A and B are shown apart, each in its own frame.
Chain A
Amino acid sequence: MGDLAARTGVLVAILGSIFFLSAPSQAQDAAQREVQIASLPDAPQPTAPSQSGLDRGSTSSSSNSLAFADSLQPPVQSPPAPSAGPSLSDLGLTAAETEGSAQRQALYDRRTHMLKVHQRLGLITVIPVAAACISSVGAPPDHGQYGNTTSRDIHVALGGTAVAMYGAVAYYAIRAPKVSNEPARGGVKWHKYLIYVHAPGMVLTPILGAMAFNEINSGQKIHGIASAHGAVAVATAISYGAAIVAVSWPIHLKF
């Protein structure tokens, strides 16, 4: 009987000591919760609907509302920290991948600005190119009438304007900062391939035109390589137009 009493006494002592040891922390937790609740503003309404399943955790803008929501929950063994959500480093992202660069953004901005000017000038240049092609009809001498040079002069002026503007268009494309070393994909790839047609064409066409002009002015029929002026000009104009379409491709009209 005495032995049983001793065992019971020991068990009670152990239970008592465990309770005694754990009681301060529980009381402390309860006191902390009371302080938290007391420090809250009067009856704020949660922003997220109760069925939405989101309390905006781990974000700077909503961490306060999350703390409030936690404080209203029944006591749990270990309340979640307000920023319990995963971070970018948890995703395995390095600083180089997560940090941006204002300088690099400025480079992109400059590139876009120059390519917008390139685009705008390029479209405007269609006008003198087309006009030069149309005016070429009146450029050759009619039936030996070498003296009338007005049509030819207009054609020369329009052609010269087209070439000059083309040079400006090319300048803005060439001088635009390069921001990627990856090969071109999509319509811009064909836009770049066509440079190999219209760029030499834009150099050759005025040279051949000048040769043809001189031959006509000296009373000769156009002969030799100068006779290719028209064909080269047409090929150049077509490839130039194709370059504009290529960079805009595919086109899905939908108004």
Chain B
Amino acid sequence: MKSLCIFTALLLVLPASSPLVGQTPDPTWNLDQSSLTYHMSHPMHEVDGTSHAAKGKGICHAGQCDFLIAAPVKSFDSGDSNRDLHMIQTTRGAQFPLIEVRLRLPQARVASPTLDCDLEVHFAGNTAHYAHVIFHQTIEGNVHHITGTVPATLTDFKIDPPTFLTIPIKNDIPVGVDMTWRPS
């Protein structure tokens, strides 16, 4: 009888003291599809370069979700191979081959229709911070579709503006973001 009492007490008490009680597994997010497009402007040229090669992951823990998105510099395609190679040279893409974007969101706000993000962007050997970048989100099932624009500039990353006919391109190189995330 005593052993039965002890066994019952252990069944009741030990699980309650376990740190796993009440916790659901921390969700992770995977970047399913992406389209990152930079826009370059020059008095004689308007150019868009797009990459579909970005990879991303989000890890949620203790109510916070940390996201990392990385895209190879050489994966951006402007439709002109010579321009793309020149872009790699100008942005020091052979020495710093990845663009990395990190952000953190409260887990409770991951499903918000509007995401107010502070971004940390590593590019061309430099780091820039963009505060309050707004992304719009639509959710269909477990697919989270996110769109927005990162207001990047050349000076943010200490990139010398390329010139054509001695006229430099504009400093603004906004990057359009169109991504699809899935939780797992």
A90-B68 contact given A53-B104, A54-B118, A79-B62, CB 8 Å threshold: yes
Interface residues on A, range: 35 or more
Report A-chain residues with C-beta under 8 Å of the C-beta of B104: 53-58, 85
Interface residue? A77 (CB, 8 A): yes
Contacts of A184 in B (CB 8 A): 81-82
Chain B, range 42-95, C-beta contacts under 8 Å to A = 43-46, 55-59, 61-62, 64, 66-68, 70, 72, 78-83, 85-86, 88-90, 92-95
Interchain CA distance A121-B100 in the complex, whole Å: 38
Per the 8 Å Cβ criterion, residues 73-130 of B in contact with A are: 78-83, 85-86, 88-90, 92-98, 100, 102-106, 109, 115-118, 120, 127
Chain A 177-194 interface mask (CB, 8 Å, partner B; 1/0): 001101111111101000
Verify A54–B105 contact, CB threshold 8 A. yes
Q: Is the CB–CB distance between A54 and B5 below 8 Å? A: no
Out of A22, A78, A97, A247, which one reaches B62, CB within 8 Å?
A: A78
Is B19's CB within 8 Å of the partner chain A?
A: yes
A186 near B44 (CB under 8 angstroms)? no
Interface residues of A in 41-99 (CB under 8 A from B): 48-49, 51-59, 61-62, 76-80, 84-88, 90-93, 97-99
Please report the total number of B residues contacting A with Cβ < 8 Å: 63
Whether the Cβ atoms of A100 and B97 lie closer than 8 Å is: yes
- The answer to the question of A40 belonging to the interface, with a C-beta cut-off of 8 Å to chain B, is no
Contacts of B61 in A (CB 8 A): 80, 84
List of B residues within 8 angstroms of A191 by Cβ = 82
Q: Is residue A102 contacting chain B, with contact meaning CB distance below 8 A? A: yes
Pair B94/A80 contact, Cβ less than 8 Å: no
B88 touches A252 (CB 8 A): no
B1-23 interface (Cβ within 8 A of A): 1-2, 5-6, 9-10, 13-14, 17, 19, 23
Check if A153 is an interface residue, CB within 8 A of chain B: no
5 extra A-B contacts, CB within 8 A, seeds A22-B17, A55-B104, A56-B118 = A10-B2, A10-B9, A55-B64, A76-B62, A84-B59
